Amino acid sequence: MAGRGPHVRPPRRTLDAAVIKMMVDRRVNKILAEHEAHRLASETSGSNNGSQGNNNKGCSFKSFLNCHPHKFKGTEGAVGMLRWMEKVESVFAMCECTEENRVKFATGTLEGPALTWWNTHVQTLGLDGANSMPWADFTRLLQEEYCPRDEIRKLEAEFWVHKMVGSEIEQYCTRFHELCKLCPAMVTPEYKKIEQFIGGLPEQIQSMVTASDLTTIQPLIRLAHKLTDQAVAQGKLPKRGEHVKPQESQKRKWEPSHHQSHQPQQQQRSAPARAFTATQPDDKGKGVYQGK
């Protein structure tokens, strides 16, 4: 068209690149800020969930009771107390009971005199102070109350003469473990426990256990079980439940066999008869007046 010159494109703006860069930087920074905020929120939420998980970890008193812990009255003696403690501690492990709940849950199984004893400590320490007591401190108090020194002396005397009867290795080991817990001074350090265990074994297996030179108690006990079974199979020890009682042992040792026992008895029965026959004429002479 007339009057119009050629079309001239406007010059490109020289700030386009800088503006674009600024916009990109803003967008990137925004994304990074949102990402960081999300990360912090996730960590905070995880921390809260973790703390709640720690608070919920363990068991409630209901779940503790569902594991059927034993009751304790305080009249069961030292062994009864020990078995109650062992059962309660096994329940702790099963239900993952936390340390701060152990005394509170365990004392919920006390009855009678034992509950009265514990209530006196609650009055002294306060309920919160008593329930927060470490489990080790609680068991120490319990042993001081229900396993006094005179009772310990009796148990120590029993421990010195504790022997395996016949082939009853299970009964021997059960009582051995009980006495170890109730009389720890007699089996500390470990070599004393080993000596005490070997000393109660029968002579049929004692020397072989001693010759093993084992230095820990559990392998020694397993060896004693194995040697006991071998001795039973070889006839060196009686079968389980067939151990000879002491009085029967003496009877079998000193009395003659059934076949031989009749002859002395017959001789004893016939001896008075012969004596009576021999003295009968004299008795007649002495008992009857013959005259002059």
Of the residues 207, 234, 261, the one at which a domain ends = 234
Q: Above pLDDT 90, what percent of the chain? A: 56
Residues 197, 221: contact at Cβ < 8 Å?
A: yes
Of the residues 234, 249, 271, the one at which a domain ends = 234
Of the residues 184, 218, 234, the one at which a domain ends = 234
229 and 156 in a common domain: yes
Separation of CA 183 from chain center: 15
228 and 158 in a common domain: yes
How many structural domains comprise the chain? 2
- Which pLDDT score, from 0 to 100, does residue 247 have? 46
Min mean pLDDT across 125-129, 146-150, 269-273 is at 269-273
In a domain, 16, yes or no: no
184 and 124 in a common domain: no
Containing domain of residue 142, as a range?
Answer: 61-146
In a domain, 254, yes or no: no
142 and 66 in a common domain: yes
* Residue 288 or 22, more confident: 22
In a domain, 269, yes or no: no
161 and 137 in a common domain: no
pLDDT confidence band for 8 (50 / 70 / 90): low
In a domain, 47, yes or no: no
Instruction: Take residue 34 and report the two structure tokens written for it.
Output: 């949102």
Convert 62-124 into a string of H (helix), E (strand) and C (coil). Answer: HHHHHCCCCCECCCCHHHHHHHHHHHHHHHHHHHCCCHHHHHHHHHHHECHHHHHHHHHHHHH
In a domain, 116, yes or no: yes
202 and 131 in a common domain: no
- Which pLDDT score, from 0 to 100, does residue 244 have? 56
Q: Which of 162, 213, 164, 216 is nearest to 189 (CA)?
A: 216
* Residue 258 or 150, more confident: 150
What size, in residues, is the chain? 292
196 and 159 in a common domain: yes
176 and 157 in a common domain: yes
- Which pLDDT score, from 0 to 100, does residue 191 have? 95
Min mean pLDDT across 141-150, 163-172, 197-206 is at 141-150
3 state SS of 267: helix
Q: What are phi and psi of 91, to 5 degrees?
A: -65, -40
Mean pLDDT, range 171-192, rounded to an integer: 94
In a domain, 132, yes or no: yes
Instruction: Take residue 208 and report the two structure tokens written for it.
Output: 């072989």
Residues 107, 137: contact at Cβ < 8 Å?
A: no
In a domain, 2, yes or no: no
Burial of 94 (C-beta count, 10 Å sphere; 0-12/13-18/19+): middle
